[in-house]
Amino acid sequence: MLSNIGNLLLLLNVLLSTLIIYNSHKCLNVPNNSIPKIIYQLSLLQSTSILICFFSLVAAFLISDFSLINVYQNSHTLKPIFYKISGTWGNHEGSLLLWAIILTIFSFLFLVLNNKHPKNYRLYTLIIQNLLIIGFLFFILFNSNPFSIINPAPKEGLGLNPILQDPALAIHPPLLYVGFVGSSIYFSAAMASLITNYGNGPFAKSIKSWVLVSWVFQTLGILVGSIWAYYELGWGGFWFWDPVENASLLPWFAMTALLHSLLVLEKRKTLYFWTIVLCLLTFTLSVTGTFLVRSGILNSVHTFANDPTRGIYILIFLSIMILASIYFLFTKYKLEKNYYMSANSKETFVLINNWFMMFYLLTVLIGTLYPILTDVLFKSKISVGPPFYNAVLIPFVVIFLVLMSIGPQAKWIKNKFSNFKQIFFILLGAVVINFVIFYFFKSYSFISNLIIISSLFLIISSILDITKQSEINLPRIISHLSFGFLIFFIGLNHNFSIEKDFNLKLGEIKEIDNYSFVLKELELDDHDNYKAIIGKLQVRNITTNEERTLKPEIRIYDNPQTLTYEASIQTNFFKDHYLTMSNIDRSEYYNIKFQEKPLMIWIWISVLMISFGGFLSLLRNAKNN
Question: Can you tell me the distance from the alpha carbon of 354 to that of 346, in angstroms, rounded to the nearest whole number?
Answer: 13
Query: What pLDDT score does 384 carry?
Result: 80
**pLDDT, tens digit (0-9, with 9 covering 90-100), for 107-136:** 999 999 988 899 999 999 999 999 999 999
Question: Can you tell me the distance from the alpha carbon of 405 to that of 353, in angstroms, rounded to the nearest whole number?
Answer: 11
Query: What pLDDT score does 443 carry?
Result: 58
Query: What pLDDT score does 44 carry?
Result: 96
For the packed helices 92-113 and 167-196, what is the interaxial angle rounded to 10 degrees? 50
- Which positions ≥6 away from 548 have C-beta within 8 Å? 538, 539, 540, 570, 577
Query: What pLDDT score does 49 carry?
Result: 96
- Which positions ≥6 away from 263 have C-beta within 8 Å? 350
Summarize the confidence of residues 502-520 as an average pLDDT. 88
The stretches of 269-332 forming alpha helices (DSSP H) are 272-294, 308-332
For residues 600 and 191, the answer to whether their CB atoms sit within 8 Å is no
Least confident of 14-28, 336-350, 588-602: 336-350
Instruction: Tell me the C-alpha to C-alpha distance, in Å, between residue 154 and each of 68, 71, 150, 300, 423.
Output: 9, 10, 8, 30, 70
Write the burial class of residue 374 (CB in 10 Å: 0-12 exposed, 13-18 middle, 19+ buried): middle
Least confident of 37-46, 305-314, 600-609: 305-314
Whether residue 501 has pLDDT greater than 70: yes
Summarize the confidence of residues 1-12 as an average pLDDT. 90
Backbone angles phi, psi at 301, to 5 degrees: -65, -20
Nearest to 76, CA basis, from 158, 161, 163: 158
For the packed helices 346-378 and 272-294, what is the interaxial angle rounded to 10 degrees? 30
**pLDDT, tens digit (0-9, with 9 covering 90-100), for 85-101:** 888 888 888 889 999 99
Question: Can you tell me the distance from the alpha carbon of 473 to that of 525, in angstroms, rounded to the nearest whole number?
Answer: 53
Whether residue 295 has pLDDT greater than 80: no
Whether residue 338 has pLDDT greater than 70: no
Higher-pLDDT residue of 33 and 129 is 129
Query: What pLDDT score does 191 carry?
Result: 94
- Which positions ≥6 away from 169 have C-beta within 8 Å? 86, 90, 163, 224, 225, 228, 232
Confidence of residue 578 (pLDDT cuts 50, 70, 90): very high
Backbone angles phi, psi at 617, to 5 degrees: -65, -35
Question: Can you tell me the distance from the alpha carbon of 321 to that of 613, in angstroms, rounded to the nearest whole number?
Answer: 32
Question: Can you tell me the distance from the alpha carbon of 342 to that of 411, in angstroms, rounded to the nearest whole number?
Answer: 11
Whether residue 607 has pLDDT greater than 90: yes
Report the b/e string of 331-369 with b at 16+ CB within 10 A.
eebeeeeeeeeeeebbbbbbbbbbebbeebbebbbebbb
Q: What is the DSSP letter of 479?
A: H
Query: What pLDDT score does 135 carry?
Result: 93
Query: What pLDDT score does 125 carry?
Result: 96
Rounded to two decimals, the pTM is 0.91
Nearest to 160, CA basis, from 242, 234, 78: 78
Query: What pLDDT score does 65 carry?
Result: 87
Whether residue 8 has pLDDT greater than 60: yes
Nearest to 432, CA basis, from 453, 448, 447: 453
| Most confident option among 173-187, 286-300, 315-329, 426-440 | 173-187
| Most confident option among 44-48, 308-312, 407-411, 534-538 | 44-48
Q: How far apart are the first and last CA of the chain?
A: 46
Query: What pLDDT score does 31 carry?
Result: 82
Q: Considering Cα of 129, then 132, then 134, then 140, what sign does the dihedral take?
A: negative
β-strand partners of 590: 504, 583
Query: What pLDDT score does 199 carry?
Result: 80
Instruction: Report whether the peptide linkage leading into residue 152 is cis, meaning its omega lies within 30 degrees of zero.
Output: yes
**pLDDT, tens digit (0-9, with 9 covering 90-100), for 362-415:** 999 999 888 877 876 777 777 788 888 988 998 899 899 988 888 777 776 665
Q: Spell out the SS3 assignment of 231-259.
A: HHCCCCCCCCCCHHHHHHHHHHHHHHHHH
Whether residue 246 has pLDDT greater than 70: yes
Higher-pLDDT residue of 218 and 267 is 218
Query: What pLDDT score does 448 carry?
Result: 82
Query: What pLDDT score does 466 carry?
Result: 81
Overall residue count recorded for the chain in this entry:
625
Report the b/e string of 87-108 with b at 16+ CB within 10 A.
bbbbbbbbbbbbbbbbbbbbbb
Query: What pLDDT score does 430 carry?
Result: 75
- CA 617 distance to own-chain centroid: 19
